[in-house]
Amino acid sequence: EAGVAQSPRYKIIEKRQSVAFWCNPISGHATLYWYQQILGQGPKLLIQFQNNGVVDDSQLPKDRFSAERLKGVDSTLKIQPAKLEDSAVYLCASSRKREGKSYNEQFFGPGTRLTVL
């Protein structure tokens, strides 16, 4: 079974520029997450999708960040314009759709390391 794919793996941009990250979840996984991991901190959830609908974007800075998940499969996360404090690793994760009260493991991609100069 292929894992979660992300691209690019690394990105360096100037502040005020725009950037986009792409994620392809594990086949059949209905739930997709984007996390921000700042150096020295644990991952923080930015947005969660169930199929192609947003179920939690309470931590997403909506003035500059946007995300979409077309057709309930691939997802893109965009930052426009970028700030210095956006330098971080952006992790994508996916899990199966919830059934009853069982816990569904989140599988993580390798991440995209963003450096904003």
Minimum CB separation of residue 16 from other proteins in Å reads 27
Q: Give the separation between CA 105 and CA 93, rounded to whole angstroms.
A: 10
Residue 72 touches other proteins, criterion: CB under 8 A: no
The residue (of 16 and 97) whose beta carbon lies closer to other proteins is: 97
Task: Mark the segment that binds other proteins (CB under 8 A) among 14-22, 67-75, 76-84, 105-113.
Answer: 105-113
Distance from C-alpha of 35 to C-alpha of 3, rounded to nearest angstrom: 17
Which among 23, 111, 110, 106 is positioned nearest to 72, based on CA atoms?
23
Residue 83: both structure tokens together: 């700030």
Tell me: does residue 66 bind other proteins (CB under 8 A): no
Q: Does the footprint of other proteins cover residue 48 (CB under 8 A)?
A: yes
